[in-house]
Structure 1
Amino acid sequence: MTIKASVGNSVYAAADHVAISASIGSDAFVVGQTIVIDAAIGGDLRGAATEIEVNASVAGDMQYAGEDITLNGPVAGTVAVSAEHLTFGPNARIDGDLILYGTSSANIEIPTHVISPDRVIYRTSSQLVDQEFVKPVGEHMGTMGLGIFYELLVAVVLTSLIVIIAKNFTSSAYARAWQSVLASIGYGFLGLSLLSGSVIVTALTFIGIPMSLLLVVVTIVVVLLGYWMGSYFIGARIWLAARGKLPSSLVAVLLAVTLGVMCAALMTSVPILGWWLAMALTLFGVGAISPWRGRRVNS
């Protein structure tokens, strides 16, 4: 994940690799394997990572837990870190206190240009449960978790409405989806390729620019529908295996959709493979609801 455009408010990011190359107006909470901060943070910087490199200024406090942490920028507030290796660059400066957690913190070399020795505080790992470290990080984790919950809730509600309103269509799409999974993915790839190609072709002409914008919106809607319907097809398949019939009542549909959305969320959260699984799920759903797929199957 790379943030290349300036953000006026706070940023909550989680990925295998996160790079911030544009300024953040307020707080930043970033979790990942490797994190690189190359632009100014307007508030606090918090999170956890295996490796983190901060090459820009932080206007507030900095709290991080990781293995290798490199600080090469000024921090206006207090820095609280738990790390096996902490390295300071030539541009590093800490205006507040430096709080180091863990037994290995005593072996960290701290240059005098970074902070005066009297403002360095050493604490044990058991003192991590402290107001200046765990509590703020926990608050940001709660905010991010609430955002994920709302996203899942929207997916469940909208998918359930589609299944209930277009019951016959979704039943036919379900049958097409599992008739041949590879064919569904193939038709989904074909459909999205045609849509995205149409966007490029229509954008080449001045007259076609408004049409290309409309096609962009249509493509986004189709991608969302494909992902949501693919999730439902998985949930309905599990429901069929457990109950012996497809969900028909309102409650059954809601439960099947919720099950499918949760399974999709777990699948796509797998490191590295998650992105590919999300793409396959989207193509699977798009291929099942494609109109030409229906004509092909019926013929």
Structure 2
Amino acid sequence: MRTAILSCLFAVTTLAAAHAEPASGRAVEWVSGKDVFAAAEELTIDRRVDGALTAAGQIVILTRDAHVKGDAWIAARRAAIEGELEGDLSIRGQEALINGHVKGDVTFYGVELSLGPDARIDGDLDYFSASTAKIDKGAVVKGEVNGNAFRIGGDTVARDDTRERWRDSHMRERGGGLSAPGYHMSAGGAVVFGGLALLLGLVAPGAAARMRDAAVAEPWQALGLGMVWLIGVPVLAVATAITLVGLPVAFLLMLLYPLGIVFGLVAALTALGGLIAARIGSAGEGALGLVVGIVLAAALLWLAISIPVIGAIVWLAAVAAGLGLVVMALWGPERAAS
């Protein structure tokens, strides 16, 4: 299984290199359907993208000629958006300037966010940064503006009031959650993750059993392995991104990072469901017992994550432990053989 995974990663990286733009020799780009994935040290998008756009680099610029029909996800040290986006915009970076038209919602995680005089956002603006967002008087935000603190036309909204309003709206609109970005799970999300965990348990019962046993025998080792992955992947992506050869690898790591979080939650639910099924006696045997165990596990995890403050710790522990259990399940047979 490890050979298949490594072969897949090598194939994707090779495919990215094969689609590199020959004009500059510094950009990597590939297309999946209508979606565009691009990475470069200095990346400029000045054309129409009929699907979603995922871009990464030291500097990422969407000029006034850029037109993205779908959502856009950007990771950059500095990002400038001057074109038109018909979907949602999500930016992770040190500095970002929005001076174009975004028809969906905008989310920013970073240090400094600026909205220029030509900025127009039809949806909500959510930002999480160490400084107050700089919003020009000519900028238009039709939806709500939520952040640590912000300034519009010279009026400043108090930091505490903004945080509380953001927390209340997320707790109310998302069906329960936490006041920290990313740490929430709706009831629908619990159903989806529970379904994926059940699928994993039925398709790969051996791996599910190894994850369950590892959760009992070596829980701290699983948690430690998961934390190494959660911390190490972003650090490795940044370290490899500073080299030309490492750009495709760094971009691939950033794409795989959210998938790893999903796998971690699914694995945690699978292991917890197996433990619950083993505790309910004869009723927990077979496929029906696995269904009951995972349903109860999903409900417990959803309730735990919905608890303010404590829920963030539960979410982090579940993701980290689940990732560690995946590693231990993959390497379990080899460890036993040795």
Separation in 2, partners of 1:160, 1:232: 7
What displacement does 1:225 show? 0.6
Kindly indicate whether the alpha-carbon contact (under 8 Å) linking 2:269 and 2:298 is maintained by their aligned counterparts in 1.
yes
Cα distance, 1:208–1:43 mapped onto 2, change above 3 Å: closer
What is the SS of the residue equivalent to 1:159?
helix
Q: Find the counterpart in structure 2 of residue 113 from structure 1.
A: none
Q: Find the counterpart in structure 2 of residue 222 from structure 1.
A: 260
Cα distance, 1:45–1:282 mapped onto 2, change above 3 Å: closer
Amino acid at match of 1:229: A
Q: Find the counterpart in structure 1 of residue 45 from structure 2.
A: none
1:43-87 superposed Cα distances (whole Å, 9 cap, x missing partner):
46599xxxx988537xxxxxxxxxxxxxx589xxxxxxxxxxx9x
Which one of the candidate residues 162, 178, 182 is aligned to 2:216?
178
Separation in 2, partners of 1:181, 1:141: 31
Q: Find the counterpart in structure 1 of residue 319 from structure 2.
A: 282
Q: Find the counterpart in structure 2 of residue 189 from structure 1.
A: 227
1:194-249 superposed Cα distances (whole Å, 9 cap, x missing partner):
54444334323212211222222333322211112112322332232223575531
Kindly indicate whether the alpha-carbon contact (under 8 Å) linking 2:133 and 2:150 is maintained by their aligned counterparts in 1.
yes
Separation in 2, partners of 1:240, 1:45: 48
Which one of the candidate residues 291, 294, 317 is aligned to 1:257?
294
Separation in 1, partners of 2:201, 2:337: 21
Q: Find the counterpart in structure 1 of residue 279 from structure 2.
A: 241
| Aligned CA-pair RMSD | 4.5
Kindly indicate whether the alpha-carbon contact (under 8 Å) linking 1:268 and 1:274 is maintained by their aligned counterparts in 2.
yes
Identity of aligned residues (%): 18
Instruction: Report the count of equivalent residues.
Output: 209
What is the SS of the residue equivalent to 1:206?
coil
Which one of the candidate residues 138, 141, 152 is aligned to 1:56?
152
Kindly indicate whether the alpha-carbon contact (under 8 Å) linking 1:240 and 1:246 is maintained by their aligned counterparts in 2.
yes
Kindly indicate whether the alpha-carbon contact (under 8 Å) linking 1:236 and 1:247 is maintained by their aligned counterparts in 2.
no
What is the SS of the residue equivalent to 2:152?
coil
Select between 191-200 and 160-169 the one with higher mean Cα deviation.
191-200
Separation in 2, partners of 1:203, 1:29: 28
1:249-285 superposed Cα distances (whole Å, 9 cap, x missing partner):
1x44333323222222222222222222211111111
Ranges in structure 1 where 5+ consecutive residues have no aligned partner: 13-19, 31-35, 58-71, 75-85, 87-136
What is the SS of the residue equivalent to 1:170?
helix
Kindly indicate whether the alpha-carbon contact (under 8 Å) linking 1:28 and 1:41 is maintained by their aligned counterparts in 2.
no
TM-score, length basis structure 1: 0.52
Cα distance, 1:148–1:194 mapped onto 2, change above 3 Å: closer
Amino acid at match of 1:174: R
Select between 164-173 and 265-274 the one with higher mean Cα deviation.
265-274
Amino acid at match of 2:268: G
Amino acid at match of 2:319: T
Separation in 1, partners of 2:317, 2:268: 9
Ranges in structure 2 where 5+ consecutive residues have no aligned partner: 1-90, 108-112, 127-131, 162-167, 177-184
